[in-house]
Amino acid sequence: MADWVTAYRIFVGDADGHLKLLRIAPEARPLPPPPAARFSKKPEQQEPNDEDAHAAPAVAPSSSSLPHLQLLPIQGRANIPPPSMSASSSSVNASPAAIQQMAAGWLTTGHFILTLARRDGSIDVVLPLPQPDGSSDDAEQTGFDETEAPRAILVDTIVENRMRAGMERWISLHIGASGVYALTSAGILRFTPVVNAASSSAGSGKPSTGLSLGEATIFTLPRTPLSHALFVTLPHNTTTTSANPSADPTHLFSGGHEVPLSIWGLPALFASTGAEGPLAATADSSKKPSDQQAEVEAGDGEDQGPKRKRRKLKEKLQDGEVWRAKGLPHDALGLQQKPEIAAIALLSKGSPTEKTVSGLPQDLKFGIATKNGLFRLY
């Protein structure tokens, strides 16, 4: 029963902004003690038994086989200052470098990277070393070379200058095959490609990673603030046989305490006229009339005339928006209920199809959890 624990690494980001590593190395562990040694009677009730003398004693696992949480400095990044004390009280201020979101994934370049979204509006793109064995297509065979000391090298830092630190936060972070996807509570959606570096950085004094960041494409979602979001890869036609988690996400689920759940098509979103960046250059050629004219289905019993027209105009889907949840009915007091979205979960990615009105796969199932303890299934 030796080597029953597989080597793995868990990267942890704390509120002070430090990157830590939890390691469990493959090491032989003793078998559990026999029942006679584990479930002995109380001293006052225990009866003498000659067999107990020959029973194997319970052996505690060696300390070397237990998980080790160690600080992992990021080479190429300035040291993170310690938390400061408030001048008016003895409370500790939140660190500007506090990590709010983390993500890990494989790139098409063959690199495995980490991303750390911080409170100050920055995202560190980090290359952990040694790199895992295997690839995203062979996740079960992925492992780390435990003979090499773990390191972390900074590839580059993404800075979102429009994010108001302390008032807004990162709510979702994802690594696709082409780069980094991130979203703030203010609806700032950013895609930053990560590509092979054109030249070496050996002469600049910065550790070389072979990677660099490309020009970002940014889009601001119209309805905010958001409380939760989820990047997903969905099969969208018959040529897409599977939804590989390491591929670029195709859709974004987003919502908030007062914002209903919406599903956005990322390619159309970044190619819309509201986007900024290289992907928005083809907005005129990629926009479809059906996307501009799509509307949410009206409920029963709505008023006719100008009021209905204003309601339709308000419920018209935005550029890149492929689906939106209907508004909740009024409560017993006649007040409008709020979505109160606290979490989003994808239950089934559905099956690829050639024809759908919304562009979503058939049999797609997802749900949301609310602050009130409810779960809504779609």
Domain ranges of the chain: 94-377
Residue 107: the pLDDT is 95
Burial environment of residue 51 by CB neighbours within 10 A (0 to 12, 13 to 18, 19 or more): exposed
- Numbers of helices and strands, H then E, in the chain: 6, 20
Residue 91: the pLDDT is 53
Residue 309: the pLDDT is 47
Residue 322: the pLDDT is 92
- Entry pTM: 0.77
Residue 99: the pLDDT is 95
- What tokens appear for 60 in the block? 């505690």
What are the angstrom distances between the C-alpha of 83 and each of 18, 97, 111, 262? Answer: 11, 9, 33, 38
d(CA 251, CA 274): 17
With beta carbons less than 8 A apart as the criterion, state whether 92 and 85 touch: yes
What are the angstrom distances between the C-alpha of 225 and each of 184, 264, 327, 336, 340? Answer: 9, 16, 17, 18, 11
Per-residue pLDDT of the chain (378 residues), as tens digits, is 334 345 678 999 999 999 999 887 655 444 445 445 444 444 455 455 554 445 444 444 444 455 678 899 999 998 887 766 655 555 556 789 999 999 999 999 999 999 999 999 999 999 999 998 765 554 444 555 566 788 999 999 999 999 999 899 999 999 999 999 999 999 999 999 999 987 655 555 667 889 999 999 999 999 899 999 999 999 865 444 344 555 899 999 999 999 999 999 999 999 988 899 998 855 445 444 444 434 443 333 344 455 554 455 456 888 889 999 988 888 888 888 899 999 999 999 988 765 555 678 888 999 999 998 889 999
- What tokens appear for 61 in the block? 């696992």
d(CA 80, CA 45): 58
Residue 187: the pLDDT is 96
